[in-house]
């Protein structure tokens, strides 16, 4: 019966090759993994084929040999320096079973005092377990307490079972890689979703900036033009009576000249806050000019609009500014069958003029 010879080899060192081998082994996620029946079955098959009392899938890690699956062995690992696998992976070749017929007669291993379940280890045969790029990960090995040989069919069978173990390794690595790719795709999808949300927020912010006055937060004249050009907005004015309200801050130039532009800006914000706090959902408030504001109240008659305007005027009078602030307000009503929006605007403007010319700090309703 032929025996595969072993050439004396130095102890493996932490060289570049060893680092690559350890990296390849780590890529399978096998070390310290739970027991799996597929590996356990192959180990039992190897022991039965070779008529050996013990068999194992031995993985050579840093400082230890760890058994992924084992039969006839109680220990789950042993020191790397006290193992034959550690010596044999240095000369592992595909499909070559490495055999030590009598450990006691081999000067490389006789002094290690290796035991198998408390009795001296006498026989070892191992088929190398290799990664696709040739790194020796460990062995599929069978062991006995008596010296012996392997028949050719047993040696070939052990090599075949080792190839099946390698296939399981590769399936495991493929599954790990697929999980990694899936995780990366999910992370990328989440990043894309976040980027899209951020883009939408930026778009909304730009739209808000384009249509709102940055000082008061009310709509600006650009937004008003868009509303006038919108069929939906115009339909609401065509369906029922509505009112337009023009508000002008009294003596605003004097406010800026006496108190400065910072307090002037506070005054404009106070007017905007009073307007926003007095109108209803569906009403439209616009900063129409420097100190002029326009309010559109759809479906509202003059009497109701006058109440809203008076509420605005009184709120402004109570604002917490270091100086008194008043506004003049002009209101005009529109009838869909009778008035064009520009006509209603002109009448509201005339009412505002009368409010200012008659003493300011008051509201005038168009009565034409």
Q: Which residues are catalytic?
A: 291
Per-residue tokens: 285: 């408030």
Q: Is 96 exposed, middle or buried (0-12, 13-18, 19+ CB in 10 A)?
A: middle
Q: Is 22 exposed, middle or buried (0-12, 13-18, 19+ CB in 10 A)?
A: middle
Residues 112, 83: Cα–Cα separation, whole Å: 8
- Residues in a beta bridge with 127: 140
Using alpha carbons only, how large is the chain's radius of gyration in Å? 45
Per-residue tokens: 356: 């200012």
Q: Where would I find the H helices in 212-281? A: 221-228, 231-239, 252-259, 261-276
DSSP state, 295?
E
Residue 19's SS3 state is: helix
Separation in Å, CA 163 to CA 98, 111, 125, 166, 297: 15, 32, 15, 5, 83
- Residue 294 and residue 246 in contact, taking contact as beta carbons nearer than 8 Å: yes
Residue 10's SS3 state is: coil
Give me the phi and psi of 9, to 5 degrees please.
-130, 145
- Residue 129 and residue 21 in contact, taking contact as beta carbons nearer than 8 Å: no
Per-residue tokens: 248: 């002008």
- Residue 55 and residue 96 in contact, taking contact as beta carbons nearer than 8 Å: no
The beta strands (E) that lie in the chain are given as 54-61, 64-71, 77-79, 98-100, 115-116, 119-120, 123-130, 136-144, 242-249, 284-287, 292-298, 327-334, 363-365
């Amino acid at each position: 019966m032929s025996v595969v010879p072993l050439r004396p080899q130095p102890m493996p060192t932490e060289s570049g090759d060893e680092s690559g081998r350890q990296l390849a082994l780590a890529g399978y996620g096998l070390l310290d993994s739970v027991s799996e029946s597929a590996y356990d079955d192959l180990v039992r098959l190897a022991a039965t084929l070779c008529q050996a009392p013990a068999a194992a899938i031995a993985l050579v890690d840093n400082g230890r040999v760890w058994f992924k699956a084992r039969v006839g062995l109680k220990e789950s690992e042993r020191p790397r320096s006290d193992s034959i696998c550690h010596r044999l992976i240095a000369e592992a070749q595909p499909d070559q079973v490495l055999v030590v017929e009598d450990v006691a007669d081999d000067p490389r291993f006789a002094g290690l005092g290796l035991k198998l379940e408390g009795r001296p280890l006498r026989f070892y045969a191992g088929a190398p377990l290799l990664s696709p790029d040739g790194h020796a990960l460990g062995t599929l090995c069978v062991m006995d307490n008596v010296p012996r040989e392997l028949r050719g069919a047993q040696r070939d069978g052990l090599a075949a079972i080792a190839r099946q173990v390698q296939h399981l390794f590769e399936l495991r690595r493929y599954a790990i890689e697929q999980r990694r790719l899936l995780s990366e795709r999910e992370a990328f999808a989440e990043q894309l979703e976040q980027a899209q949300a951020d883009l939408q927020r930026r778009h909304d912010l730009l739209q808000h900036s384009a249509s709102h006055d940055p000082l008061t937060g009310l709509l600006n004249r650009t937004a008003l033009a868009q509303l006038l050009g919108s069929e939906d907005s115009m339909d609401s004015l065509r369906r029922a009576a509505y009112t337009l309200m023009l508000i002008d801050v009294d003596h605003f130039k004097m406010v800026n000249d006496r108190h400065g532009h910072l307090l002037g800006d506070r005054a404009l914000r106070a007017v905007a806050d009073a307007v926003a706090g007095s109108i209803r959902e569906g009403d439209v408030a616009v900063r129409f000019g420097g100190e002029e504001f326009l309010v559109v109240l759809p479906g509202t008659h003059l009497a109701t609009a006058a109440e809203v305007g008076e509420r605005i005027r009184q709120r402004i009078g109570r604002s917490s500014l270091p100086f008194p602030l008043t506004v003049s307000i002009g209101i005009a009503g529109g009838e869909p069958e009778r008035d064009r929006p520009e006509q209603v605007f002109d009448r509201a403007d005339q009412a505002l003029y009368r409010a200012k010319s008659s003493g300011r700090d008051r509201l005038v309703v168009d009565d034409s």
